[in-house]
């Protein structure tokens, strides 16, 4: 009976030592900051379309900025005029 009691006491002491050392290890693990992984998005490759035909240059010209009509088209291949036209029959509020 004494041997059984001594074995139980020894088992409790060893279990307590293991428990306390594991508790300390867990405490250290919790206190340590966790390095979270970061994702870096790689830039996507852009495919340039193949241009067919000669390169042209165009310009948008507001009609109100013109003092006179220009016919000099040496810089640009195409002039694109835009502006606001008057609407008849619409009442102003």
Say what the pTM is.
Answer: 0.32
Check residue 88 and give its pLDDT: 62
Per-residue confidence in pLDDT tens, the chain, 93 aa: 888 999 999 999 999 999 988 888 888 877 778 778 888 888 888 887 787 777 777 777 776 666 665 565 567 777 777 666 666 665 554
Check residue 17 and give its pLDDT: 92
Task: Yes or no: say if 80 and 57 are a contact pair by the CB < 8 Å rule.
Answer: no
- Cα 72 to Cα 38, 75, 77, distances in angstroms: 57, 8, 10
- Residue at token pair 């009691």: 5
């Amino acid at each position: 009976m004494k041997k059984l009691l001594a074995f139980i006491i020894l088992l409790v002491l060893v279990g307590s030592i293991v428990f306390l050392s594991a508790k300390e290890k867990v405490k250290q693990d919790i206190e340590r900051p966790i390095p979270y992984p970061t994702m870096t998005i790689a830039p996507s490759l852009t495919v340039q379309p193949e241009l067919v035909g000669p390169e042209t240059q165009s310009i948008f010209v507001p009609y109100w900025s013109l003092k006179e009509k220009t016919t000099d088209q040496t810089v640009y291949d195409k002039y694109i005029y835009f502006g606001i036209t008057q609407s008849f029959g619409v009442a102003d509020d």
